[in-house]
Amino acid sequence: MGLMNRTNVSDLRGVVKLAVDATVGITDLVEKVHHTIQLGHPPLGTSHANKTKGLTGFVYRSIRGTTHLLGRGLDAGLVPVAGLLPETASPAIRDAVVSAINGVSGDHLVQTGNPLAIEMTIRQAGAPLDIEEPDAVNTLASSTGKLMLFVHGLCLNDGHWSRDGQNRGETLAAELGYTPLYLRYNTGLPIASNGRQLAMMLQEIMHNWPCPVNELAIVGHSMGGLVARSACHYAQLESQDWLHQLRSLVFIGTPHQGAPLERSGNWIEKVMGLSPYAAPFTRITKKRSAGMTDLRHGSITDQLQVHVPLPGGVDSYAMAATLGNKRSRIHERLIGDGLVSVDSALGKAKDPSCCLAIPDNRQWIGFETGHIELLGHPGVYTQLHHWLQ
């Protein structure tokens, strides 16, 4: 068994906070069900249940109070210990687990000050770049004036661009003369918040790069494509000049018109809310992060469901996938790659005014391919090489 280090203790603090929040949440849920039964509600209708009173209410308040007290005590004891321990590099498995937790509850982690919350960083070769310090950027080996930024999707991180021991993105960038960079971010936060922050970071890194940047390409997988579009939107609003260097936007399995899976979760939540006995359990379905909720309609701004066209003067490309082995309108529309329909990934919509109007020769569809499989699909990178060369 390895020695305890700072990362282990920080993770333990985060898990303790989540355990406390979960215990309190379950206590609230049980109390509301208890009160619903006490009130003798009919099976359908709006729930009037709230907190219980008397001895029953005292018991529930005691559970919540004891849980909070225990959590604060454990956290206070771990804080000084973490500062005394050495830091360590995070293994890939730890990064994958933390990224998944952020995707599901990332906004909650930030709101509660949980150390598991991921901070946005631009990375290269697995290490973050200090974009505020030009000298740190100047130490980059083989930096060029052509940058290619890879932006991962929901519940993932920059390490997921490597599949089966290969990082095809690195190879693609090298063959085309780009310096590859990777974004790591909290996918549970609102897409607009991540887009706004990415726009500011790109502005800063362009100014600090050791040589003039004359070309930027952004490759986004799934939610990553929406974050990239959001960054372009806020860069335009704030007149940031990095957009002048943006030449290409590539979307891989991006739900431009929303993700059916998230819409299904919202439908289940509404159905459960019809009964006062099931209504308390909608608190569980509502725990989806803001990032997940934004996927329902592909929202990239603070104003939900507002259509934002692609930035002008930028070559945009869309890649989609279907689990089927041939073109099928029903299969593509209902199933797609398992998470995103083909039309949504290609930016097509029933309302012509909401279409992204990406030319046919800049669209690609992979067959018998799932959403995550797109990250390592050889055909994806062959097509990218053809487009970007």
351 and 222 in one domain?
Answer: yes
Burial 330-359 (b: 16+ CB within 10 A, else e): ebbeebbbebbbbbbbbbbbeeeebbbebe
Q: Residues 58, 158: one domain?
A: no
Q: Per residue of the chain (389 residues), what is the pLDDT tens digit? A: 454 444 554 555 555 455 555 454 444 544 454 344 444 444 444 554 455 445 445 444 544 554 444 445 444 443 443 444 345 545 777 677 778 778 877 887 888 787 788 999 999 888 888 777 645 655 555 678 899 999 999 888 999 898 878 888 899 999 999 999 999 999 999 999 999 999 999 999 999 898 899 999 999 999 999 999 999 999 999 999 999 999 999 999 999 988 765 444 444 344 334 444 334 344 544 556 788 888 888 899 998 778 899 999 999 999 999 988 777 776 666 678 888 999 999 999 888 888 999 999 999 999 999 898 999 899 999 999 999 98
Domain assignment of residue 37, yes or no: yes
Q: Which residue has the tokens 């006062």?
A: 276
What does the pLDDT read at residue 107? 86
Give me the pLDDT at residue 316, please.
98
User: How many residues appear in the chain?
Assistant: 389
Do 346 and 308 belong together in one domain? Answer: yes
pLDDT at 353: 84
Please give the Cα distance from 325 to 85 (Å, whole number). 53
Is the domain of 192 the same as that of 328? Answer: yes
**pLDDT for the residue 326:** 75
CA 312 to chain centre: 25
The tokens of 191 are what?
């897409």
Q: Say if residue 174 is in the same domain as residue 232.
A: yes
Domain stop point among 85, 107, 129? 107
Q: CB-based contacts of 212: which residues, under 8 Å, 6+ apart?
A: 145
- Inter-axis angle of helices 6-39 and 92-111, to 10 degrees? 50
Q: What is the CATH number of the domain that holds 384?
A: 3.40.50.1820
**pLDDT for res 274:** 41
| End-of-domain residue from the set 78, 107, 136 | 107
Total domain count, the chain? 2
Q: How far is residue 329's CA from residue 334's CA, in Å, rounded to a whole number?
A: 8
Look at residue 13 and tell me if it is in a domain. yes
Residues 6+ apart with CB under 8 A from 66: none
Q: What is the domain extent for residue 188?
A: 121-259+295-388
The reply to whether 186 and 248 lie within a common domain is yes
Residue 288 in domain: no
Residue 249: both structure tokens together: 């936007």
pLDDT at 217: 97
Q: In this structure, are 157 and 79 located in the same domain?
A: no
In which residue are the tokens 């887009």 written? 195
Give SS3 for 44: coil
Is 145 in the same domain as 37? Answer: no
Measured distance CA(192)–CA(75) in Å, rounded: 32
pLDDT of residue 222: 95
Task: Please check whether residues 148 and 78 belong to one and the same domain.
Answer: no
Q: Is residue 290 part of a domain?
A: no
Residue 264 lies in a domain: no
CB contact set of 280 (below 8 Å; sequence gap of 6+):
29, 32, 33, 36, 47, 49
SS3 363: strand
pLDDT value of position 67: 46
Name the residue among 173, 225, 163, 211 with its Cα closest to residue 388. Answer: 173
Same domain, 240 and 382: yes
Residue pair 159/75 in contact (Cβ under 8 Å)? The answer is: no
Strands 215-221 vs 121-124: parallel, antiparallel or unpaired: unpaired
